[in-house]
Amino acid sequence: MSQTEKKGKAAALCPIVVFLVLYVGSGIYYQYVKGENQGFYIMSVVVAFTIALVVALLQNRKLSFQEKLKVMSQGVGDENIVAMILIFLFAGVFSSMAQAAGGSESTAYLLLDILPANQLAIGFFLISCIISMAMGTSCGTISVLVPIAAATAQAADLNLAVLLGAIIGGAMFGDNMSFISDTTIAACNGQGCEMKDKFRENFWIAFPAAAVITVIILFFRGGGGGQVENLSYNIWQALPYFAVLALALLGLNVLLVLGCGILLFTLVGFLTVPGFTVSLVFSSMGQGASGMYETIIVAVLVSALGALMKAYGGFDYILYIIRKYFRGRNGGQLGIAVLSSAMDIATANNTVAIVMAAPIAREISQEYDISPKKTASLIDIFCCIWQGIIPYGAQMLIALGL
């Protein structure tokens, strides 16, 4: 291999630059210049990636158009991408059925009833962690808990900003640790590792930060008494969440876990929710599946784009830069962390950032002998960290809007 081949080609990364200029540039313009609400989400990420893919197709005249299509097809047809798409569909249906059966609210109210009222910030944080792990969605968790927190803060004269920070932090923790989160799905399938292995790797990094550091900070910063009004819940509606968590921890295949969860919530809905009909089940399933369409399309576009950039020498160039500035195995892990962080800060979407970073991170892990489960854990952790911090991320915008 020649020195030129080892260095790769920086020009091969041009489509990513085009994507970032379009997506981030339009977000800055609409959010801060035009003052639009949620300006970073006016331009669809699908549109931005489609334009970037067109740019990639116009590059590298050495390959014919037919050869480029073949490269893209091989990237999209990877077994990890196919598995990811199926899991995304099941996860969307599961989340929608949980909402329809009343599982989200009942779980939140049950946990609020159990936890002591004299440390509500810690209580909301722990509830947010559990619900986000069970639901597999940080945005869904925030949507359920923030209205309750806002009412509680007003009634008990508590610091609303602290409660919101606790909920967002807990939601990102659960999103990072959940077996059915799209971030976990993308990270594990992108590296070809089992979710239970990634969970164990994650646990020793994320759990101490949540259980020790965050709880201590909230104890001193967000303490204070308060009383939550009596909230009605049905314990049967909450049980499927805990059953799904237990099955996932036992190592059952994630598709089977999600399938069991969908069946349990369907059964609970018929038994406990008035007006819960077969037509409602079908419509809820359809809404849940359609809610994942954009994520699935992004996964397809990014895998095709990544395959082209790799064929053009883009990944070799990134590896060359990382070899130049990061030394040894620890340096490789730091390189993955920096790559993941940069992707999330740029895209304001942790799932998209993980899908983008995954193929490059896989090359880095092979170069530096980093295990797939460690790589998946690092990508997911750093993307979720930054997603919970950036003020223009969906999680922050939803919380502030509510």
CA-nearest of 305, 296, 299 to 51 is: 305
Nearest to 133 by CA among 257, 49, 22: 257
Which stretch of 51-60, 168-177, 236-245 has the lowest confidence by average pLDDT? 236-245
Contact 328, 369 (CB under 8 A): no
The pLDDT value recorded for residue 4 is 40
Task: Determine the straight-line distance between the first and last CA of the chain, rounded to whole angstroms.
Answer: 56
> What are the phi and psi torsion angles at 224 (to 5°)?
135, 145
180 secondary structure, DSSP code? S
Residue 346 has pLDDT above 80, yes or no: no
Angle (nearest 5°) at CA 68 between 86 and 185? 20
User: What is d(CA 340, CA 238) in angstroms, rounded to the nearest whole number?
Assistant: 34
For residues 19 and 47, give the distance between their C-alpha atoms in angstroms, rounded to a whole number. 9
The pLDDT tens digits for 88-119 are 788 788 878 888 888 877 877 777 777 666 67
- Given this model, what pLDDT does residue 70 score? 94
Distance in angstroms (rounded) separating the CA atoms of residues 248 and 252 = 6
Question: How do residues 237-296 score in pLDDT, each as one tens digit?
Answer: 888 878 877 777 676 777 888 888 899 999 999 999 998 999 999 999 999 888 888 878
Q: Find out whether 356 and 188 touch, Cβ atoms under 8 Å.
A: no
Query: Could you read off the pLDDT of 23-54 as tens digits, one per residue?
Result: 888 888 888 888 887 777 788 888 988 999 99
Residue appearing with tokens 């999680």 = 395
